[in-house]
Amino acid sequence: MDALNPEPRTLTPIQERILAWYGEHGRDLPWRRTRDPYHILVAEVMLQQTQVERVLPKYHQWLEAFPTLQALAGAPTADVIRLWTPLGYNGRAIRLKRVAGQCVEQFGGQMPASFEELRELAGVGRYTAGAIACFAYEQQVAFWDTNVRRVLSRLFRGHDAELPERDLEALAAEALPAGQAYDWHQALMDLGATICPARNPRCDLCPAVDLCAAHPAVLFAQPRIAERKAKYQAQRFETTNRYFRGRIVDALREHSPLSTADLTLKLGRDDPDWLQGLVAGLERDGLLVRQGNCVSLP
């Protein structure tokens, strides 16, 4: 195995086993029963940093409220933000609305089909563009999320260390089975979510365990490293600005507008400069508007 490419004698059997495993064990998810690019966009944005179980009810609710790009583009921003709860990372709701508006204004109310044009949409990165190109338009493109990155790295590199983007791009393209991009990416996502997670990988259930370059080392080393990292992150979250930004948006969903004095009481922290910094950031992100000493949803 060289620095970039998987070893040919293991690549084909790994592809065959993982695809066969997906054919038998792939999760039945609603966004896998459609080729509507808007529906797939909604699912992919919701799934960023949010578990499938939490996304499922919101995905259906969202599409009932905003069934098309045109409906989302024309909806009041405050309604979009309210409906997003409780998924968190509220800026994702604003990004979806901006993408919808751009599609209506520039692409006749349709999602563009080419990877290059998808990348031109506001807030659409390489992964989301690849997912839409592959899952909606069934194009043979290589892309990756956290799960795919981890699985490819373990299978072909033998560790969890993050590969440079250029090396990861080369590996993902080389590992892609001809004509099977859709099933391959869905399979890698399912494998990473259910069998090969960051913590406590279930190597005994992996269809390619005997071909995996990381086994058995990852089975013993990775859980301890990931658990320490998760514990550290959990302890710090409620002190982060992201946590307090979410609390401000939640407060405005319940009652809007609110004065800065109201927000100080709700956040339990009397620090005017810090609060003004949070409010300014939320305003830049399109999540609230300021009116004198009050703030409200857009």
Distance of alpha carbon 295 from alpha carbon 252, whole angstroms: 8
Model pLDDT for residues 237-248, shown as the tens digit of each residue: 677 888 888 889
Token couple for 290: 């300021």
Confirm whether 165 is a catalytic residue: no
The predicted structure's pLDDT at residue 228: 52
Instruction: Provide the pLDDT confidence category of residue 219 given band limits of 50, 70 and 90.
Output: low
- Residues 142, 181: contact at Cβ < 8 Å? yes
For the chain, list the domains and their CATH numbers.
36-135 (1.10.340.30), 241-296 (1.10.10)
Distance of alpha carbon 14 from alpha carbon 196, whole angstroms: 15
Average pLDDT, integer, range 101-122: 94
- Residues 171, 4: contact at Cβ < 8 Å? yes
pTM for this prediction? 0.84
The predicted structure's pLDDT at residue 273: 86
Distance of alpha carbon 298 from alpha carbon 163, whole angstroms: 40
247 versus 20: which is more confidently predicted?
Answer: 20
The predicted structure's pLDDT at residue 235: 53
The predicted structure's pLDDT at residue 8: 63
Question: Catalytic pick from 7, 16, 24, 44?
Answer: 44
